[in-house]
Structure 1
Amino acid sequence: MKLYMPTKVYNEKNCVENHSRELAALGTKALIVTGKHSSRINGSLEDVKGALERERIPYVIFDEIEENPSVETVMKARALGVSEGADFVIGVGGGSPMDASKAISLMMANPEHDERLLYTKVQTSADGPVREAFPVAEVPTTAGTGSEVTPYAILTKNVLPDIVLTTVPLEKDREAFAHLEKRTKQSISHHIFPALALVDVTYLQTASRTGCINTAVDTLAHLIESHLNTNSTEYSRIYSEMGLRTWAKIKDKLLRFEIGEEERQALMRACTLGGMAIAHTGTSLPHGLSYPITTEMGVPHGKAVGIFLPGFIRNYGNQEEAMKVLYLLDFGGEQTFCEYIRQLLGEVAISEELWERTMDEVLANPAKLKNYPFMLDREKLQGYR
């Protein structure tokens, strides 16, 4: 068994201010990566700016991170960071800015490489050696992804169909097939753990009902998928079991949306625990199935993942372990859990064509199946819908 969690985590009010020296110690100039609005509304951006100014560390802000951040946006932010001479990155916001900040830090450290580096693991190439990413700090403002403690960065990118990639040998010739490209979500090939996570529950106060529920369900998926996983160990299950018990305490209040400070603390704690768990195991089928639902239907990530959780529990190959998860969540059984998720998220109508294509993509991709510890065929996967 292996336990590896290199991120230093502070979970407390005013932690950005309290630990400004450690934030400043990461480099000599910061690139702050965030979105357009929420970090300004909840005060997190102002806190980060104040901490850097107090420590006399210059910074530049890139505030164009979109939901489901794209490779193109990462490269735009890289250009700003390089031109400004930044040597560390601070992600402020939800999963999108935090994931993007990791990818941006890698590309800033390797300015001679183009975006192909994001999806290759080579140590050297025709463009030169591949350097380690610049240090990253994360300031989460949602309780969902756990990205503040994971090495993953999920980006949206254009991909060509396999038939083009396997039959058209030269990249310049593939430009003629650009109209066949589609958008997909995919983790970059490099693992980049943040050096520092500054977790302040205060930033959750401005979250909307929909945003709070969707991110909380993303946390739930991380906890379930890491527990029922090929890579789970006694160590990783310490995180997932503690997180499941924590999530159970607030599930009824989440349904009624009676979310006060105590509930926000529990959500943030469960989120970070979920991130620590998937840092060791990765996610599993609900996440793999969710990506087309998000990219093609515009369903928010947490909701897209959550709709597949009942099927994942119901069809899991070891029902004793699946029932243990429901016990930790304080559900009486699978039917009770399914009804809860339906009430929390509502219904999502997936077209037959998209569902058939999603199943084909998952079954044809070993990377999406490797974390599921049982044989899976089309008939079994049908039960996830």
Structure 2
Amino acid sequence: MRFFVPTDIYVEKNCVKNHAQNILSVGLRALIMTGRHSAAKNGSLNDVTEVLDDGNVPFLVFNEVEENPSTDTLRKATLAARDFKADFVIGIGGGSALDAAKAVALLLSNPDVDADDLHKVPDRQLEHVPVVAVPTTCGTGSEATPVAIITNHKIGLKKSIPHVIFPVLALVDGKYLASAKKQLIVNTAVDALSHMVESILNVKSNAFNRVFPEYGLKLWGECKDALLASGDVDVSLYEKLMLTSTIAGMSIAHTSTTLPHGMSYDLTLHAGVPHGPAVGYFLAAYTEVCAKFVPGDVERILSLLGLGNIGEFTTMLQSLIGTYAVTREMRDKFAAAMKVNRSKLDLVPGKISPEDVDFVYEKSLSLL
């Protein structure tokens, strides 16, 4: 068994201001990676830039990170960062901004690597400049993982790059959820839920790393009624949702994700489905398959969530994110690709069959 999370993580109110010196000690010139609007709207960008200004650390804001960051965007950001002579990267936002920050940090240290080559398996572990993560959504947990999910549109590929890029510092503050729309909170919370379920229903699950998802699922269960209810989520739950997300990230940092995440990437890449729902559509059926191999683990997950059976789990997920329909041709194409995806199949507890893969797709996606 192994336990390893090298990131210095703080989860508290006014986290950025409270730990200004931690940020200022990371480097001398900062590139800030973020999206176009949300970080400015929720106050996180202002909190970070005030700290940098007060500490006389020059910074460049690159606010062009899109959902599912592309290699083209990374290349553009890296060129700007090199011209600016940035020596560390601050990612502010959801998983897209944090993953993009990680990838650019690696590109800055390796000028011989092009962004389009990030998915190639290297012959050695590559260095990267330091990364600071300031998450503003309650889903990806990227602040606590070494993973960066990047899209290469030229070859029609969305997946994690084979590089270990842990942030050196993560500053997690629930107040940044205040300006988020309810459905965004729900979508990202479903992603966090998937991380924890996939971490337990995983061949890499062990006594050390199960501590994270089991505690996180209990917290998630305490939030589920608010997520299911009409109206906005009460501000009193923001900190708990962000904590749950970070715990979920720590969960997959040890185990990686399994089938639901692997299946989600095609939906996002080819149908434009947001990441959280794209994962969530497959989660209940995956749990049903795993119940054949590790029934005790499935029962534990349901118990922590306050659910009686997989049927209730399915109903809850459908209430949160609805359902999704594709053409039979698309569904068959996705299933065929997943049946040879050993990186995900080999993490499933038990000997999963091609028929099991078909079952998950058929149970999860209806036909147009």
TM bracket, shorter-chain basis: over 0.9
Q: Does residue 145 of structure 2 align to residue 150 of structure 1? A: yes
Report if the CA contact (8 A) 1:52-1:58 is conserved: yes
343 and 116 in structure 1: CA distance in 2 versus 1, 3 angstrom threshold: closer
Which segment is superposed worse, 18-27 or 36-45?
18-27
Structure 2 residue identity aligned to 1:151: P
| TM-score (structure 2 length as normaliser) | 0.94
Structure 2 residue identity aligned to 1:64: E
Q: Which residue of 2 aligns with 1:29?
A: 29
Q: Does residue 292 of structure 2 align to residue 292 of structure 1? A: no
CA separation in 2, counterparts of 1:319 and 1:113?
45
Deviation digits for residues 308-337 of structure 1, max 9, x if unmatched? 111011111222211111011110111111
* Unmatched tracts of structure 2, length 5 or more: none
Q: Does residue 127 of structure 2 align to residue 132 of structure 1? A: yes
SS of the counterpart of 1:194? coil
Which segment is superposed worse, 209-218 or 361-370?
361-370
Q: Which residue of 2 aligns with 1:379?
A: 355
Percent identity reads 42
Larger radius of gyration: 1
CA separation in 2, counterparts of 1:360 and 1:332?
33
5 and 38 in structure 1: CA distance in 2 versus 1, 3 angstrom threshold: same
Structure 1 residue identity aligned to 2:256: G
CA separation in 1, counterparts of 2:270 and 2:119?
22
Q: Does residue 205 of structure 2 align to residue 253 of structure 1? A: no
1:38-187 correspondence to structure 2 within 5 Å? 38-122=38-122, 131-158=126-153, 181=155, 183-187=156-160
Q: How many residues align?
A: 358
CA separation in 1, counterparts of 2:25 and 2:120?
30
Report if the CA contact (8 A) 2:116-2:152 is conserved: no
Runs of 4+ in 1 over 4 A off after TM superposition: none
CA separation in 1, counterparts of 2:289 and 2:92?
37
Structure 2 residue identity aligned to 1:109: S
Structure 2 residue identity aligned to 1:370: D
SS of the counterpart of 1:137? strand
Shift of 1:274: 0.3
| TM-score (structure 1 length as normaliser) | 0.90
131 and 229 in structure 1: CA distance in 2 versus 1, 3 angstrom threshold: closer
Report if the CA contact (8 A) 2:94-2:135 is conserved: yes
Q: Does residue 241 of structure 2 align to residue 273 of structure 1? A: no
Q: Which residue of 1 aligns with 2:339?
A: 363
Shift of 1:55: 0.7
Shift of 1:374: 1.9
CA separation in 1, counterparts of 2:232 and 2:37?
25
Which segment is superposed worse, 20-29 or 367-376?
367-376
CA separation in 2, counterparts of 1:4 and 1:296?
35
Structure 2 residue identity aligned to 1:300: P
Q: Which residue of 1 aligns with 2:237?
A: 263
131 and 283 in structure 1: CA distance in 2 versus 1, 3 angstrom threshold: closer
* Unmatched tracts of structure 1, length 5 or more: 125-129, 160-180
Choose which of 298, 303, 307 in structure 2 pairs with 1:327: 303
Shift of 1:116: 5.0
Report if the CA contact (8 A) 2:182-2:233 is conserved: no
CA separation in 1, counterparts of 2:181 and 2:274?
13
